[in-house]
């Protein structure tokens, strides 16, 4: 039995992955469970600060923040029903559950989805106190691994090509979604799908879009929702709305949770998909767009370069001007756009589908279960 624990059932890449992998593990005959730790808004404000700090942003955690984290973590120890041979704990929010390891036994894996290559050291040192108690840590990209006394594994995330988020869609459905959100299809569409989060840099993308518009007429679609473990999104959304106000070519779409078919349709309707993140663990939205054979312009940060091989499976951009330049390149060159999209889809087929992910999950479980039998040559 494998028990996964994270902090939200909806919103964000971790929930997206678990919603596909957990049932699939079940279909293979492996008992797999997914639980979520609960917290107040104050707790998630602290964990969002931690998330930002791990990505290198100085968010200044106070002693009170650490105390609140520990109090909530203590409550999780009491409240959450934990049972299994493998406990797969995602990101910092539930990290303290490892304190039940002695009592429960089993193998404990900390799955880090964040780019921790250059963290705020105070926060990282605090989390290290927990990470060191695990049996293994799993990271998405090689540059995220840290010096740790526990075994480390590299497993990239994945998308499920058969899910509503990624399956083929008829054109009339795509058209109906655009009509619903009042996005005319009279001009090329430049799209970013993301939670409203500073690290996704929606404001920077609006600036880049304005530079593009000086020479090419197009529309910008910023589509996203909120996640229950991200209290910062309302503030970011308000700022984005203010920056875009009065521009009829900028469409800010608030997409409710579980709108997978609609997100899929928006991605498929796009001329170019952008991911202008300042920091990124992996960026599942990039894989989703590439799978739809879309030309992608994405920042060269975190796990994105695993997916976007510059000028082969997309364009890796730097800053506002660089992003604008790359968007223009794609809009002005349909042949380039097509070849990037086609190569991107193939790259995802070979590397980032759920079947590869599942195989690596199972290999990880095997290597944890049989670690004593490993023969070192």
Count of alpha carbons within 13 Å of 6, Cβ hemisphere only?
A: 22
Q: Is 268 in the site for ligand UDP (CB under 6 A)?
A: no
226-265: contacts with ligand UDP (CB under 6 A): 255, 263
Q: At its nearest, how many Å lie between ligand UDP and the CB of residue 352?
A: 11
**Span from 39-47, 66-74, 242-250, 280-288 in contact with ligand UDP (CB under 6 A):** 280-288
CB under 8 Å to 209, separation ≥6 — which residues?
A: 190, 218, 220, 250, 324, 327
Judge whether 221 and 258 are in contact, CB under 8 Å.
Answer: no
285-324: contacts with ligand UDP (CB under 6 A): 285, 288
**Span from 72-80, 174-182, 192-200, 315-323 in contact with ligand UDP (CB under 6 A):** 192-200
Our CB check for ligand UDP shows the closer of 107 and 280 to be 280
Q: At its nearest, how many Å lie between ligand UDP and the CB of residue 324?
A: 21
Our CB check for ligand UDP shows the closer of 80 and 255 to be 255
Our CB check for ligand UDP shows the closer of 13 and 96 to be 13
Judge whether 358 and 21 are in contact, CB under 8 Å.
Answer: yes
For residue 267, give both structure tokens. 């991605």
Judge whether 269 and 178 are in contact, CB under 8 Å.
Answer: yes
CA 19 to chain centre: 13
Our CB check for ligand UDP shows the closer of 85 and 260 to be 260
Mask 197-226, x = binds ligand UDP (CB under 6 A)? Answer: ---------------------------xx-
Compute how many residues bind ligand UDP; rule: CB under 6 A: 16
For residue 143, give both structure tokens. 């540059």
Length of the chain: 377
Q: Is 283 in the site for ligand UDP (CB under 6 A)?
A: yes
Q: At its nearest, how many Å lie between ligand UDP and the CB of residue 163?
A: 9
Burial (Cβ within 10 Å: 0-12, 13-18, ≥19) of residue 114:
buried
| Listed residue (201, 174, 227, 229) closest to 323, CA to CA | 201
DSSP 149: S
Residue of 2, 3, 12, 329 interacting with ligand UDP (CB under 6 A) = 12
Distances (CA, A) of 311 to 93, 207, 274, 340: 37, 23, 15, 7
> In the complex, which residues of this chain contact ligand UDP (CB under 6 A)?
12-13, 16, 165, 193-195, 224-225, 255, 263, 282-285, 288
């Amino acid at each position: 039995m494998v028990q996964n624990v994270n902090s939200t059932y909806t919103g964000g890449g971790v929930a997206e992955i678990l919603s596909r992998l957990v049932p699939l593990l079940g279909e293979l005959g492996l008992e797999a469970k997914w639980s979520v730790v609960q917290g107040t808004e104050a707790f998630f404000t602290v964990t969002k600060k931690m998330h930002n700090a791990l990505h290198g942003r100085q968010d200044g955690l106070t002693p009170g923040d650490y105390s609140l984290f520990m109090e909530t973590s203590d409550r999780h120890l009491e409240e959450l029903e934990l049972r299994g041979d493998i406990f797969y704990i995602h990101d910092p929010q539930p990290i303290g559950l490892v304190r039940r390891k002695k009592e429960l036994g089993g193998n404990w894996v900390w799955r880090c989805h964040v780019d921790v290559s250059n963290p705020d050291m105070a926060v990282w040192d605090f989390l290290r106190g927990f990470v060191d108690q695990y049996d293994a840590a799993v990271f998405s990209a090689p540059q995220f691994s840290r010096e740790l006394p526990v075994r480390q594994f590299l497993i990239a995330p994945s998308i499920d090509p058969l899910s509503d988020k990624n399956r083929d869609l008829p054109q009339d459905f795509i058209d109906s979604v655009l009509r619903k959100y009042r996005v005319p299809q009279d001009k090329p569409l430049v799209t970013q799908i993301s939670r409203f989060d500073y690290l996704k840099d929606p404001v920077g993308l609006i600036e880049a879009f304005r530079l593009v518009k000086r020479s090419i007429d197009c529309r910008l679609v910023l589509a996203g929702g909120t996640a229950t473990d991200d209290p910062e999104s309302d503030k970011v959304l308000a700022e984005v709305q203010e920056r875009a106000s009065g521009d009829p070519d900028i469409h800010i779409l608030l997409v409710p949770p579980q709108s997978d078919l609609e997100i899929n349709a928006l991605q498929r309707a796009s001329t170019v998909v952008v991911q202008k993140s300042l920091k990124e663990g992996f960026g599942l939205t990039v894989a989703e767009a590439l799978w739809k054979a879309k030309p992608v312009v994405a920042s060269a940060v975190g796990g994105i370069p695993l997916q976007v091989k510059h000028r082969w499976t997309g364009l890796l951009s730097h800053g506002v001007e660089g992003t604008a330049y790359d968007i223009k390149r794609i809009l002005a060159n349909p042949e380039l756009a097509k070849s990037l999209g086609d190569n991107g889809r193939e790259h995802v087929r070979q590397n980032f589908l759920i079947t590869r992910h599942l195989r690596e999950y199972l290999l990880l479980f095997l290597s944890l279960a049989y670690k004593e039998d490993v023969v070192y040559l």
